[in-house]
Amino acid sequence: AQTVTQSQPEMSVQEAETVTLSCTYDTSESDYYLFWYKQPPSRQMILVIRQEAYKQQNATENRFSVNFQKAAKSFSLKISDSQLGDAAMYFCASSRDDKIIFGKGTRLHILP
Amino acid sequence: DVKVTQSSRYLVKRTGEKVFLECVQDMDHENMFWYRQDPGLGLRLIYFSYDVKMKEKGDIPEGYSVSREKKERFSLILESASTNQTSMYLCASSPTIYYEQYFGPGTRLTVT
């Protein structure tokens, strides 16, 4: 079965520092999509960043960027200049057929 | 902005009751999804629908059914609620499977 693994259940980072959240996935598909979603406390889940597997270039969205290593099936999220508002659960996800498979999440704490 | 609404934020039901969770989206999206979110397990797909009156089982459909009579509305039904269905239920919609999923605020269901 296709899986998405987030090996860090919780992480902490000092405000203004950089943090990287890890994600590995397993797929047999040749074309697929990868996502990072953010779920702030008691708030709705929102998309942070999306990567199309056929694109070599790593996706970036302002302070958020990914390190996509297709051969290693790795898709890590880097958050630069961490802010208090970045505190949330972060979920990595991968497309599978006509569905999306989510990892178990990483809870990110921002230390003031 | 896309809006996905869920009928209740919090719900308390008794074992054996029939429970309806409603989800409405206002962006004419083809695809709608129901997930349950449990600590340490991430998001698990219960059912999804890619068109009116169409439904597909996700990874954990047992004990649940769904209804999609209109494009904007996707209902999750617990025919006979059990305590192991106590969870956070998230609804989502998207225009295509490979695009961003827009999530509702969630319904925290407690079955006693």
Q: A71 by DSSP, 3-state: which? A: coil
**CA distances, B12 to each of A78, B19, B77, B80 (Å):** 39, 10, 15, 14
- Average pLDDT score over residue span B1-10: 88
pLDDT tens digit sequence for A16-25? 999 999 999 9
Tell whether A21 lies on the interface with B, counting CB pairs under 8 A. no
Which residue is it, tokens 């129901």? B34
Going by DSSP bridges, is the β-strand pair B107-111/B10-13 parallel, antiparallel, or unpaired? parallel
Residues in chain B with CB shorter than 8 Å from the CB of A103 are: 42
Closest in A44, A47, A99 to B105, CB measured: A44
Shortest CA distance from B32: residue in chain A:
A99
Nearest to A29 by CA among A90, A102, A97, A110: A97
pLDDT tens digit sequence for A41-72? 988 999 999 999 988 899 999 999 999 999 99
Q: Which tokens go with A28?
A: 């047999």
